[in-house]
Structure 1
Amino acid sequence: MFYAILAYHEEEVVESWTKEEDAALMAELLEVNERLVSEKRLGPAARLGPTGRAVTLRGKDAGMIIDGPFAETKEQLLGFYVVECPTLKDAVAAARDLRRANPTAVYEIRPILLYRPGAPLLPEQES
């Protein structure tokens, strides 16, 4: 079963980190990523841009574009991981590893009902 691990945090806190603090945190998170990759359990993962540059599509028919933020919460969705785990318990264990690296973040774990690997993020270079 695939699970989405959604990483939430207060944007103001994340934006207050120095480049060095951010790089140190990312290095710790990448250690977890590399382990999950070596175990062939990590699918797509992304760090999302600021909510101030996000928009929301809602409404009937073609819908209406509304400037972000798109949620009335203290924390914002900052990124996500897709992990392959046999049980929810195993997915929670993976999220706990991420939380050890970033203990002030909130992680939501949700089963994925349909997963189709997408196109590569960057187009392949022509030789």
Structure 2
Amino acid sequence: MQYLLMIYGDEAAMGAATAEQGKAMGEAYARFTQDIVKSGHLKGGDKLKQSSTATTIRRGDGKSLVTDGPFAETREQLSGYYIVEAHDLDEALAIAQNIPFSSGAVEVRPIDSLSRMY
């Protein structure tokens, strides 16, 4: 089964990091990514541009509204994701535990590939 590991963090705090801290975090993510490539778990993933680049479509009452910015105002923004292959939720959680984020959260969600219409 595939799982989506969504990484949430505080963009302001990430932007305030020193060059040395940013380099260390980048190296930690590179090591983590290499590890899950070698283990065969990685199926995809990317770092996302800042939430200020997002555009959101909201629907209600039969109308669509397109707005700049992320879906919701929060202290944490979605900053990246991995798609991994795991036998079960426990294995997906074990993989997610190794993501080198220093604050924020990682949401682990199963991908419903059985519902694909293509």
Look up the match of 1:14: 14
Look up the match of 2:111: 112
Take 1:103 and 1:11, find their aligned partners in 2: how far apart are those partners? 12
Look up the match of 1:124: none
Take 2:40 and 2:72, find their aligned partners in 1: how far apart are those partners? 33
Look up the match of 1:85: 86
Match of 1:33, as an amino acid?
T
More strand by share: 2
Match of 1:86, as an amino acid?
H
Aligned-residue offset at 1:62: 7.3
Look up the match of 1:47: 47
**Secondary structure at the residue paired with 1:97?**
coil
Aligned-residue offset at 1:19: 2.9
Per-residue Cα deviation, 1:40-77 (whole angstroms, up to 9, x for no partner): 11011111111111110122567221111321221110
Moved over 4 A (4+): none
Match of 2:31, as an amino acid?
E
Aligned-residue offset at 1:15: 0.9
Per-residue Cα deviation, 1:15-57 (whole angstroms, up to 9, x for no partner): 1112332121011111111111011110111111111111101
TM-score (norm 1): 0.81
Take 1:16 and 1:114, find their aligned partners in 2: how far apart are those partners? 38
Take 1:22 and 1:102, find their aligned partners in 2: how far apart are those partners? 12
Look up the match of 1:63: 64
Take 2:38 and 2:70, find their aligned partners in 1: how far apart are those partners? 36
Take 1:53 and 1:32, find their aligned partners in 2: how far apart are those partners? 26
* Identity between Structure 1 and Structure 2 (%): 32
Look up the match of 1:73: 74
TM-score (norm 2): 0.87
**Secondary structure at the residue paired with 1:6?**
strand
